[in-house]
């Protein structure tokens, strides 16, 4: 029997503003679409957090035995500066500044995007479509919206008529905005725009002579509006109505609002049952921004080549840090926070590594069944990874007690404990059991400490207690505690 049949999962739905019980359209199958990157620069750490959250969600669905079609797009055209309908295409601008072809920009930063996600141990999506690969589908959607009278063409550009749409539908249903407020808070058109109303958004833009990226259409040589690509690709691969659409909270309005409007006009139904949005990542308490220098790239975290962190941190430690906050919470990134996460990560991995060596008894001093249920309850409560991690550390405490001879576990419970920990730590959270500093195997840390333990033993044998104590104290200062016992000296990280 599939695992999902025994679990009631609740998801916070941005559309309803509450946690809803998750019921897929087709039992056992999930269609999930997540807005991917605009590939004109190195992937932003805040974006990584969003993609990481949905990687965790994808992993949990698979763990529950769902068959998931996960679509995450690549925006390689049509995303103008400031998310507006005017200005220069972000990719074309980068190509002009670098004096290379736009598709060179796309290739360069798509490769970077995949490399960074691979380091973070992401699972690849089921489908990764591109905007430029779906121009025909976007043109067909525009034709449909025009035929239904909810768009208009002026001077080779096509715009969605928001005010007309709002007469029979609710533009703002996702973000909670109403059209009156939007009208009141929008500046009047300056006379240079072709739009009838400031609230209208572009479905197709006529390309200016200097605009490099352009395609032929019934209206002009131009390019599709940014909002259109996601409607085209999500409905093509997941159907007119699918289960989950995700992205960062900054996309809720206007991007996702426009997606809903486009899809409802084309198909006569709400396109998505559950809308999910991740919260932002701050750096030292402030918004990340390249312009202020309050910014750090993932690669700079791994190498330590930055002016923000005290030392390098591995992708798995960074991933663990992000999993310690709920995906809907603001998460502040700092050197101190990462160091604390590194200690927790090491403690977790040390416990995992010791599972196969635990002594087995006839009884168990830990309620394994209740603990396992608590792990599932945490994830079933809107993917609450902080609570899951707290439950994992309850198990870590018990494992350490068994190691120290202060608690016991029988073989059956040890098998359940081992299987459950491995599933949640590696399969669901996506962590990797590697050394925390530079990506080398965890054995290198152990080997190094063992050398120091031997040197300390030699010092004690030679009655050089000053050197012996110095080795012990220096190791303790970097979070490695030596434990002397009848079978020799062992160590733990804290």
What is the band of 487 on the pLDDT scale with cuts at 50, 70, 90?
low
* Among 93, 65, 63, residue whose Cα is nearest residue 78: 93
The whole-number average pLDDT for the span 51-57 is: 98
Judge contact between 85 and 15, C-beta under 8 A. no
- pLDDT at position 343: 96
- pLDDT at position 129: 98
Q: Give the domains, in start order, of the chain with CATH numbers.
A: 3-278 (3.40.50.620), 282-428 (1.10.730), 442-493 (no CATH)
Judge contact between 41 and 109, C-beta under 8 A. yes
Q: List pLDDT tens digits, range 89-127.
A: 899 999 999 999 999 999 999 999 999 999 999 999 999
The neighbour count for residue 20, using CB atoms within 10 Å, is 16
What is the band of 188 on the pLDDT scale with cuts at 50, 70, 90?
low
The whole-angstrom separation of Cα 27 and Cα 412 is: 33
Q: Which residue has the tokens 């833009």?
A: 205
Give the angle 14-276-348 at the CA atoms, nearest 5°.
Answer: 130
**Residue 187, C-beta contacts closer than 8 angstroms, at least 6 positions apart:** 198
* Residue 190 reports pLDDT greater than 60: no
The neighbour count for residue 269, using CB atoms within 10 Å, is 9
- pLDDT at position 195: 92
- pLDDT at position 488: 76
* Among 211, 231, 230, residue whose Cα is nearest residue 221: 211
The whole-angstrom separation of Cα 231 and Cα 67 is: 22
The whole-angstrom separation of Cα 125 and Cα 70 is: 5
* Residue 157 reports pLDDT greater than 80: yes
Q: List pLDDT tens digits, range 409-468.
A: 999 999 999 999 999 999 999 999 974 344 444 456 777 888 899 889 888 889 888 898
Judge contact between 264 and 238, C-beta under 8 A. no
- pLDDT at position 154: 97
What's the predicted TM-score (pTM) here? 0.88
Query: With b meaning 16 or more CB within 10 Å and e meaning fewer, what string describes 122-149?
Result: beebbebbbbbebbebbbebbbebbeee
What percentage of the chain exceeds 90 in pLDDT? 76
Judge contact between 232 and 240, C-beta under 8 A. no
- pLDDT at position 454: 87
The whole-angstrom separation of Cα 294 and Cα 288 is: 5
Cis peptide before 254 (omega within 30 of 0): yes
The whole-angstrom separation of Cα 34 and Cα 277 is: 10
- pLDDT at position 436: 39
* Residue 324 reports pLDDT greater than 80: yes
* Residue 269 reports pLDDT greater than 50: yes
* Average confidence score pLDDT of the chain: 92
- pLDDT at position 28: 98
| 151 or 183: which leads in pLDDT | 151
Strand, coil or helix: what is 145? helix
- pLDDT at position 337: 96
- pLDDT at position 207: 93
């Amino acid at each position: 029997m599939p695992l999902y049949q025994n679990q009631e999962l609740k998801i916070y739905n941005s559309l309803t503003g509450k946690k809803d019980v998750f019921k897929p359209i087709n039992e056992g199958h999930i269609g999930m679409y997540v807005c991917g990157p605009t590939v004109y620069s190195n992937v932003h750490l805040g974006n990584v957090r969003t993609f990481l959250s949905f990687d965790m969600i994808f992993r949990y669905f698979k763990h529950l035995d769902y068959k998931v079609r996960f679509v995450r797009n690549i925006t390689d055209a049509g995303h103008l500066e400031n998310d507006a309908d005017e200005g220069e295409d972000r990719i074309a601008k980068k190509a002009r500044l670098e004096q290379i072809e736009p598709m060179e920009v796309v290739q360069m930063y798509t490769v970077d995007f995949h490399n960074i996600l691979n380091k973070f141990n992401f699972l690849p999506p089921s489908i990764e479509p591109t905007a430029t690969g779906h121009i025909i589908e976007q043109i067909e959607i525009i034709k449909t919206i025009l035929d239904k009278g909810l768009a208009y063409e002026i001077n080779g550009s096509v715009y969605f008529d928001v005010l007309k749409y709002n007469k029979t539908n609710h533009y703002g249903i996702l973000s909670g905005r109403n059209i009156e407020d939007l009208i009141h808070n929008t500046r009047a058109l300056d006379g240079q725009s072709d739009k009838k109303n400031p609230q209208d958004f572009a479905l197709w833009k006529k390309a200016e002579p200097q605009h490099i990226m352009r395609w032929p259409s019934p209206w002009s040589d131009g390019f599709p509006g940014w909002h259109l690509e996601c409607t085209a690709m999500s409905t093509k691969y997941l159907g007119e109505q699918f289960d989950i659409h995700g992205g960062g909270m900054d996309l809720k309005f206007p991007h996702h609002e426009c997606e809903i409007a486009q899809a409802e006009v084309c198909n006569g139904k709400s396109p998505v049952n559950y809308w999910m949005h991740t919260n932002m990542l701050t750096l030292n308490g402030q918004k990340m921004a390249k312009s202020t220098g309050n910014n750090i790239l993932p690669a700079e975290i791994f190498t330590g080549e930055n002016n923000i962190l005290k030392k390098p941190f591995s992708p798995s430690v960074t991933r663990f840090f992000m999993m310690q906050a709920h995906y809907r919470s603001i998460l502040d990134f700092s050197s101190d926070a990462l160091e604390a996460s590194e200690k927790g990560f090491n403690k977790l991995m040390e416990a995992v590594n010791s599972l196969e060596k635990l002594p087995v008894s006839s009884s168990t001093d830990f309620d394994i069944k209740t603990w396992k249920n608590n792990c599932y309850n945490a994830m079933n409560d809107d993917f609450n990874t902080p609570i899951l991690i707290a439950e994992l550390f309850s198990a870590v405490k018990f494992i350490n007690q068994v190691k120290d001879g202060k608690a016991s576990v029988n073989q059956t419970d040890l098998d359940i404990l081992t299987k459950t920990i491995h599933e949640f730590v590696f399969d669901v959270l996506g962590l990797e059991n590697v050394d925390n500093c530079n990506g080398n195997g965890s054995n290198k840390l152990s080997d190094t400490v063992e050398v120091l333990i031997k040197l300390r033993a030699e010092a004690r044998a030679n009655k050089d207690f000053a050197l012996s104590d110095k080795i012990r104290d220096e190791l303790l200062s970097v979070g490695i505690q030596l434990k002397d016992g009848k079978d020799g000296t062992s160590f733990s990280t804290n």
